[in-house]
Amino acid sequence: MKTFPLKQRAFTLIELMIIIVIVLVLVFVLIPNLATAKQRARNTQCLDNLKQVGLGFRLWPGDGDRYQMKVPVTQGGVMESIERGNVASVFLVMSNKLSTPKLLWCPAYRSSWVVATFTSGLGNSNVNYFVGIDASETEPQMFLVGDDNFLIEGQAVKAGVVALATNTPVAWSTTRHNKQGNIGLADGSVQSVSSAGLQAGLVATGTNIVRLAFP
């Protein structure tokens, strides 16, 4: 009786099982790494967005060192609008300094309400970065723009204007950037910081009250 083919077939099945196990192990190892790589790519893109937006602020033809948030509407600014929480107005007046409305949308945000152009109805729902109302080039560490996934005293921030004392407990929610967030400062620099770094940054602004407008 010939048994060799049976032995050969059994050996082949064992090899196949080993290959399947190896593939499964590789999948379990690679998938988390791919997810991490995607998170890093989104974070890098978000920082680049804020860098370009910060440059747009500095190129805006305002009066001296004032950004448009401190310039009246009658003089081409948005002071009255931003005081009412109209964050989109800040970017509309400097739209000629920004290449695309996509710069106003964090790539780590799961939903997308990006408009094609600045003239196609840009509103607060198309923005998910906050704006520092009192930011000034003379106060380089003040918050100028940043991710809006804020927690204030443990609660998710609502749309509108908030005034924060430097000791107000703030943190990032966990919805973006792996429990971190990105901020652009008044000096044009951008930072990726943890919740502890956000709290420290609030203290470092150099002012008693920090007013932020959230879309």
Question: What is the bridge-based pairing of β-strands 150-152 and 160-165?
Answer: unpaired
Of residues 119 and 112, more confidence is placed in 119
Can you tell me the distance from the alpha carbon of 85 to that of 52, in angstroms, rounded to the nearest whole number?
22
Cα(25)–Cα(137) distance, integer angstroms: 53
Query: How far apart (Å, rounded) are the C-alpha atoms in residues 190 and 144?
Result: 10
150 — pLDDT class (breaks 50, 70, 90):
very high
pLDDT band at 27 (very low <50, low <70, confident <90, very high): low
Q: Is the pLDDT of residue 10 over 70?
A: no
* DSSP per position, the chain: ---HHHHHHHHHHHHHHHHHHHHHHHHHHHHHHHHHHHHHHHHHHHHHHHHHHHHHHHHS--STTB-GGGS-GGGT--HHHHHTT-HHHHHHTTGGG-S-GGGGS-TT-SS----SSTTTT--GGG--EEEETT-BTTSTTSEEEEE--EEETTEEPPSEEEEEETTS-EEE-TTSGGG-EEEEETTS-EEEE-HHHHHHHHHHT-SSEEEEEE-
Is the pLDDT at 26 greater than 70? The verdict is: no
CA distances from 123 to 5, 79, 87, 95, 115 (A): 73, 17, 8, 13, 9
CB-based contact 23:74 (threshold 8 Å): no
Instruction: With a cut of 70, say whether residue 163 has pLDDT above it.
Output: yes
Domain ranges in the chain? 4-214
Edge to edge, what strands does the sheet with 129-132 contain? 160-165, 209-214, 129-132, 143-147, 181-185, 190-193
What gap in Å lies between CA 153 and CA 161, rounded to an integer? 16
Would you say the pTM of this structure is higher than 0.85? no
Tell me: pLDDT of 29 over 70: no
d(CA 112, CA 95): 20
Q: What is the pLDDT of residues 132-147, one digit of tens each?
A: 999 988 899 999 999 9
